Each structure stands twice: as structure tokens, then as C-alpha cells.
Amino acid sequence: MVEAFKQCFCNQIWILPTIALITWFFWKDKRYRCFYIIYKTWRRDLMGIWMVARAMYKILKFERNKESVPKIFTKIAKSRPNKVSFYFEEEIWTFQRLEDFSNKVANYFIASGYQKGDTVALLLENRPEYVGIWMGLSKLGVITALINTNLISKPLNHCISVANVKALIFGSDFQNVINDIYPNLKNIQLIHYNTSKTGIQADKLTNPIDLKQCLTDQSVVSPEKYIANTEPKDILFYIYTSGTTGLPKAAKIRHSRFYFAVTGINSFLDLKDNDIFYNPLPLYHATGGMLTIGQCVNFGATIALRKKFSASGFWTDCNKYNCTIANYIGETCRYILTAHKDKSNIEHKIRKMIGNGLKKDIWKEFVDKFNIPMMEEFYGSTEGNSNLINLDNRIGSVGFIPFYLSSIVPMSLIKCNDETNEPLRDENGFCIKCKIDESGILIGKINKKISTQNFDGYVDTKETNKKILNDVFKTGDSYFNSGDLMVKDEFGYIYFKDRTGDTYRWKGENVATTEVEQVVSEIIGAKNMVVYGVEVPKSDGRAGMIAVEDLANAIDRKKLAESLKSHLPAYAIPLFLRIMDSLPMTGTFKVKKTELQNEGFDIGVIKDPIYVYDSKKIDYIPINDLYEGIIAGNVKI
């Protein structure tokens, strides 16, 4: 027996080194590396191809049948009238109730003389009526401008005026902000939707229409003639860009785009009939108001809706309504993590979370702490035609493009100028594609004949043209410029790196803020913070600055400085540190970097403690005694 074993082993011993040699060859020789990549990614790729094919079939069917969002919703409501469409606080809305409410809205505006193509602005907090109002307006072809509820004064007035609205529907919580811009609303019909016990204050606004009262007498009969006149190419509503820089832009969302975005997410979610979504995100934003709400109105899912996001109440709500899927955006996951840092073994039924903006530094910690089976991070701007999704929990990735499909997928990464962020072009005047692990701007090919590849742009044509690149890879082609820096690894995974406007140049080198933020986060933990560049008198470029929320002033500045020195090149170490009670945020939980950049490190304006990096002491020291010297250029930085 022993001899037989020795004989067999001696005869077969060559197999092990042969396997090792072949493996080494395929690993090292780039000519054959592709086989290894396919071996590692084929399951992911097949799943992605199948899901895209399934979504495209539904979209083509939608367009071929000349469907629209209200047409689909009407069918959904008829097929499941008693199923819950929304849980909201202690209210329960069935699909029939939502259908009846939207029909009342439609019939009221028909009776009031509104026609297809008119625009009505909506300024209302999260509640089921929000969806019912825009759905009702869509039934007669009226466009709804979804206004950011955080806007006041000039930005609010801009959003209303740029959409050329005939009427403004506002909730009771917004009486004061409407009153402030009232002189600019003379030709606009004001319509109040009462969401308070006291109603409108007589001394604030003059005789606005009471929509809730008007709806009591309206018929719940569906306006079929008007619904039949809606088509895929019609504009459903306007969603405004976040406004982190400049004034918000009104992006056109057609029925076809709404259905495309919603169907794409639905295909990847593997939605079950008993799934319940938790949606604490604002309804004026694409993630909360389109991608999530669309699962309800176009696919019959139930949604637990919260008036306003609460990190401390997140898991309580999820358990209260037995939610199985939740969404997130921006820094909400960090807020949830921080709010529950002292708690363990949090029970819930969430099987998937979907959203965008989850940073790599807290991804694994969040998943491990709360035991989330699947995080489906996606990428896609409100108005853009470049969309990606992470299907296999790849930490930090926003999606993938297999190398063997890169020539047919209508998205590319192109090189850009480090200083101006403008695309670089070769000697023939065409853009240059990025290589593996080389960062560049993500662009999407525009094809007006295919709705999923078209770029409808904004109400303002000039703003639309600014986002279009022409003659990119050949004469006559056009691409949407996302303005976002991405990088792709050899396996086709794509990682968000930065906004092109968020990079800054210091000491002759380019610094990507997200890279610095990741290092800072690893040092100080899951605190809400941001890194950006600020101008320094008598210096070229911008110096880095950290703004961090630290109410307890518990950050060890010496340790922070030492750790940054050991993890970052000298030029990338932020020069300034600002300790704040809270960071200024947009309504979609993105930090207002422009506001922070404009304030710079001016101690005459900023009351927060500011520290400056001392390269000799390797510490962040108070700026007060050095401020005048820095401004005058007398202090070496």
C-alpha cells in the first residue's frame, strides 16, 4: 500500500510545479492576464448583462406601447387597490386612496383651466400627498417643478422663476419663506396645502387658494381622456441639481427617463411583492423622490415614508414598519453609524440598502456593525446618461464595465487637465481614453434616438450646452460630461474619486480631496468632516483645509498632524483645521463646500476655532498669532 502510494506520488509530482508555472505565467504575462480577469468576474458580468437586458426589454415595451407614468400607476392601483402604498407616521395610504387623491388633484386643475405643458411648482415636506399632487398634475400633462425645501430668498426665487411656473403649491411650514419673496410672485397663483392645525396666517399672505378645501368637492373619477394624451417623451417634472455650487439648475425628467431609472433599479433590486422600502430622503431629490417612489407608483411596492431623515430614529422606523429595503445618500450612513456607536446587536429585517455616496472609509464598518447583507451603491446624476451600479458588494465601487465590453458600452473615462479639469486632446483634436488605474472624467455618449442614452439637459439651454462635449472620439459625436473623476481597475470596477471642482493644486501638485478625507477619517474616526482648498494670499493654488464636526473638542490635534505626516506627502497635508459644531449641508446631505471655501480661514468672519499646521512641531496650533503674518506672506507655509 505504502509502495503504491509512493509510486503514484512520484509519477504525479510534476503536476504541482506545472500548475504553479502556468498560474505564474497567466498572472505575470499581461497578454494572458485577461483569462484570469474573466475567471474572476464572469459571474458578476453575466448577472449584470442579464439584469440590463431585462430592464431594456421593459423600457422598450414602455416606449413601444406609448406608456406614461400615470398610465402605469393607474393600472397598478387597479390591480392592488387595498395594498398599502405608504406608511406615514400613523397614517396608512392604500393604492386606492393614492389613486383617488391624485384624481381629485387632476380634476381640480382641469376645472381651473390648466393645460398640458403648464408648470406648477411644489414646495412641500415629505408626505404621501406630495406624490399624489405631482401624480395628479401629470395626469393632465402639467409639469411639476420639485422645489428644494431648504431654499430661501434668492435661490428659491430663482428656482420658481427659471421654471416659468403658473402656480406655486406650498405647505404650511413654508409660509414665511414664501412671504419673503412674495413681491416677486405677482403673476403666480399661490396655492396653500394646509399641513398644520392653524392653517395659513392671515397677516402673511393674501388669499392663497386652499387646495385641501378645494379637493373635498372634486370627483375621484380618473380623467382617462387626459391620461391617454400623455406620452413617454413628455416632461413629467423638473428636479433641481443640488446647488452646492452656484444657483440650482432645473433638470428635465421625461416620463421615459423616470421609467428607465426606476426600472433599472428595480431589475437590480430583485424586488419581492412583500418588500417594504424605508425612505427618509427628500422627495424633491432623485434618489428619494424618483428611484424609490418609482418602485411604488410603477411597480406596486410599499414605502414607509418619513418627514425628515433622523439618524437616531432610522432603525426604530425600519422595525416599526417591518422594512426590508432602505435607501441612503451622502453622509447618512456615517450619521447612522455615529448615532448608534454605543449600541450593539441592532435587530432589523433590512436585506438591502441602495443609494450613493457611501465612502470607503466607513463602508465595511457600517456593513459589519449593522449586518447588512447587500449594499447596492450606484452612480448616476439627476440629469446625466451615465449610470453604474455595484452588484457584488465590492467595497468602494460604484459599478463596473467589463474590459471586453468597453468598446460597446456608451461610457468612457477620459484624461483631463489637472489644473483646469478640461478634457485633454491628442494631436488630432480628439479626447484621450484613460488607462487602467488612471483617473479621468466619466462621459456618456449621447444618442438622441435612444432614450436611455439621450441627454435632455436643463430648462436653461445655455446650461445644457455647457455639459456637452463635441468631437470627442470622432468628428460629429457628442458626450455628456459628468464632471466627475473616476478610476477603473483591471477587473473593470469603477471607483468615484472626486468632483473635478473639488480637486485643488498646492505646491505645484494636485490634491484629490476624497483621498485626503479617507486618511483623515481613518485617524479621527466616523466624524462628519470635509476637506477642501482655500486661497492663501501671496501663494499659488489653494491650501488644504479640514472642517470637522467636534462639539466636544476631543480631537487630538498633535496625533492628527503626526498621522497625516506619516500617511500623506507634504503637499497633501491640509494646512488649516477648522473645528465646527455642524457642517453646512444641502437638503440631500452633501456638504456645501463652496460656502466653506468662500469663508476660507478668515478669523474676522469665522468664529470657530481655526488651527494651522506647524511642520516643525508637527502639530496644529492656534492661528491667531500667525494670521497677519500668513496674510502678509511673512510666515513660511
C-alpha cell at 487: 478610476
How far CA 562 is from CA of 39, 173, 194, 554, 557, in Å, comes to 43, 48, 56, 16, 9
Q: Is the pLDDT of residue 9 over 50?
A: no
Does position 16 have pLDDT exceeding 80, yes or no? no
Task: Starting at the earlier edge strand, list the strands of the sheet with 250-254.
Answer: 209-210, 189-193, 167-171, 119-123, 143-146, 235-240, 250-254
The verdict on 361 and 404 lying in the same domain is: no
Contact 337, 365 (CB under 8 A): yes
Residues 6+ apart with CB under 8 A from 107: 218, 219, 221, 223
Bridge partners, residue 171, by sequence: 193
The last residue of one of the domains, among 463, 498, 533, is 498
Confidence at 29, pLDDT banded by 50, 70, 90: low
pLDDT classification of 262: cutoffs 50, 70, 90: very high
What mean pLDDT comes out for the span 24-36?
Answer: 66
Angle at 575 between CA 569 and CA 580, to 5 degrees: 125
In a domain, 389, yes or no: no
Q: Is the pLDDT of residue 526 over 80?
A: no
What is the chain's alpha carbon radius of gyration, rounded to the nearest angstrom?
27
User: pLDDT tens digits for 401-460?
Assistant: 998 888 888 999 999 987 677 899 999 999 999 999 999 999 999 999 888 899 999 999
pLDDT at 1: 47
As a whole number of Å, the end-to-end CA separation of the chain is: 78
Residues in the chain, how many? 637
Q: What is the CATH number of the domain that holds 584?
A: 3.30.300.30
- What three-state secondary structure class fits 177? helix
Would residue 18 count as lying in a domain? no
8 Å CB contact between 325 and 273: no
Q: What is the pLDDT of residues 348-364, one digit of tens each?
A: 999 999 999 888 888 99
Taking residue 51's Cβ as centre, other Cβ atoms within 10 Å add up to: 18
550 with 418, same domain: the answer is: no
Q: What is the CATH number of the domain that holds 419?
A: 2.30.38.10
pLDDT digits (tens, 9 = 90+) for 81-111: 999 999 999 999 999 999 999 999 999 999 9
Q: Is 404 inside any structural domain?
A: yes
Q: Is the pLDDT of residue 309 over 80?
A: yes
Can you tell me the mean pLDDT for 7-36? Answer: 59
What CATH code is carried by the domain that includes residue 100? Answer: 3.40.50.12780
Do 478 and 337 have their domain in common? no
Same domain, 369 and 454: no
CA 282, CA 318: separation in Å to the nearest integer? 17
Q: Determine the Cα–Cα distance for residues 606 and 590; give it in Å rounded to an integer.
A: 21
Task: Round to whole Å and give the CA distance between 370 and 442.
Answer: 32
Cα–Cα distance between 7 and 10 in angstroms, integer?
5
Please identify which residue in the block is written with the cell numbers 386612496: 97
Condensed to tens digits (0 to 9), the pLDDT of residues 189-239 reads 999 999 987 666 645 566 789 999 999 999 999 999 999 999 999 999 999
Average pLDDT on 510-529 reads: 84
SS3 529: strand
Phi-psi map region of 633: left, alpha, beta (phi>0 left; psi -120 to 50 alpha): left
Domain check: are 448 and 466 in the same one? yes
State which amino acid sits at residue 35: F
pLDDT grade for 57, boundaries at 50, 70 and 90? very high
Looking at the 3D structure of the chain, how many domains does it have? 3
Strand ranges (E), 462-572 = 468-470, 478-488, 493-499, 504-506, 509-511, 529-535, 542-549
Residue 204's pLDDT is 57
Instruction: Please tell me whether residues 490 and 509 are part of one structural domain.
Output: no
Q: Is the pLDDT reported for residue 245 higher than 50?
A: no
Q: For residue 2, what pLDDT is reported?
A: 43
CA nearest to 497, candidates 510, 478, 506: 510
What values do phi and psi take at 228, rounded to 5?
Answer: -65, -20
Whether residues 87 and 71 fall in one domain: yes
C-alpha cell read off for 125: 415636506
Beta strands 411-414 and 250-254 are unpaired
Phi, then psi, of 469 in degrees rounded to 5:
-100, 135
Cα–Cα distances (Å) from 20 to 16, 27, 35, 485, in that order, read 6, 10, 16, 39
Q: By the 8 A CB rule, do 78 and 112 touch?
A: no
In a domain, 132, yes or no: yes
Answer yes or no: do 456 and 560 share one domain.
no
**Dihedral of alpha carbons 222, 61, 288, 140, sign:** negative
Average pLDDT over residues 592-619: 92
Q: pLDDT over 90 for what percent of the chain?
A: 65
Cβ-based neighbour number of residue 247 at 10 Å: 16
Which pLDDT score, from 0 to 100, does residue 22 have? Answer: 57
Does residue 251 fall inside a structural domain? yes
Split at pLDDT 50, 70, 90, the class of 588 is confident
Question: Does residue 30 lie in a domain region?
Answer: no
| Cα(251)–Cα(253) distance, integer angstroms | 6
Q: List helix spans (H) across 250-320.
A: 255-269, 286, 293-297, 314-320
Measured over the CA atoms of residue 629, residue 633, residue 634 and residue 637, the dihedral's sign is positive
pLDDT tens digits, one per residue of 282-308: 999 999 999 999 999 999 999 999 999
Count H helices and E strands in the chain, helices first. 21, 28
Confidence tier at 180 by pLDDT (50, 70, 90): confident
Task: HSE, CB side, 13 Å, CA atoms: give it for residue 535.
Answer: 5
> Are residues 280 and 412 both part of a single domain?
no
Are 623 and 612 a contacting pair, CB within 8 Å?
Answer: yes
Q: Are residues 219 and 303 in the same domain?
A: yes
Greater confidence, 517 or 244? 517
Residue 377, helix vs strand vs coil: strand
Residue 170 belongs to what domain range?
A: 66-383
The answer to whether 179 and 203 are in contact (CB under 8 A) is: no
Residue 442 to residues 87, 389, 408: CA-CA distances in angstroms? 38, 14, 15
CA dihedral angle for residue 247, residue 248, residue 250, residue 255, rounded to 10 degrees: 170
Q: Are residues 351 and 427 in the same domain?
A: no
| Residue 593 scores a pLDDT above 90 | no
Give the pLDDT of residue 232.
Answer: 95
Instruction: Report residue 583 as a C-alpha cell.
Output: 457642517
Instruction: Tell which of 498, 530, 545 closes a domain.
Output: 498
Q: Label residue 515 by pLDDT band (50, 70, 90).
A: confident
Residue 244: which pLDDT band, with cuts at 50, 70 and 90?
very low
- Whether residue 467 is contained in a domain is answered as yes
Q: Among the three residues 350, 383, 416, which one is the final residue of a domain in this structure?
A: 383
The confidence score (pLDDT) of residue 277 equals 97
- Give the model's pLDDT for residue 191: 96
> How far is the C-alpha of 165 from the C-alpha of 131, rounded, in Å?
19
Q: Is 542 helix (H, G, I), strand (E, B) or coil?
A: strand
Q: In the chain, what is the greatest distance between 2 CA atoms, to the nearest angstrom?
A: 104
Instruction: Clarify whether residues 74 and 130 are in a common domain.
Output: yes
What sections of 374-477 are H helices per DSSP? 461-466
Count of CA atoms in the C-beta half-sphere (13 A) of 45: 16
Residues 6+ apart with CB under 8 A from 616: none
The answer to whether the CB of 577 falls within 8 A of the CB of 623 is no
Q: What CA–CA distance (Å, rounded) separates 34 from 46?
A: 16
Residue 350's region, left for phi above 0, alpha for psi from -120 to 50, else beta, is: beta
pLDDT tier for residue 592 given thresholds of 50, 70 and 90: confident
Look at residue 213 in the predicted model and tell me its pLDDT: 94
For 12, the grid coordinates are 504525479
Query: Residue 73: inside a domain, yes or no?
Result: yes
Mean pLDDT of the 614-633 span: 92
Distance CA 81, CA 587 (A): 33
For residue 246, with 0-12 CB atoms within 10 Å meaning exposed, 13-18 middle and 19 or more buried, which class applies?
exposed
Banded model confidence at residue 15, pLDDT cuts 50, 70, 90: low
Q: How far out from the chain centre does Cα 466 lie?
A: 21
Rounded mean pLDDT of the chain? 89
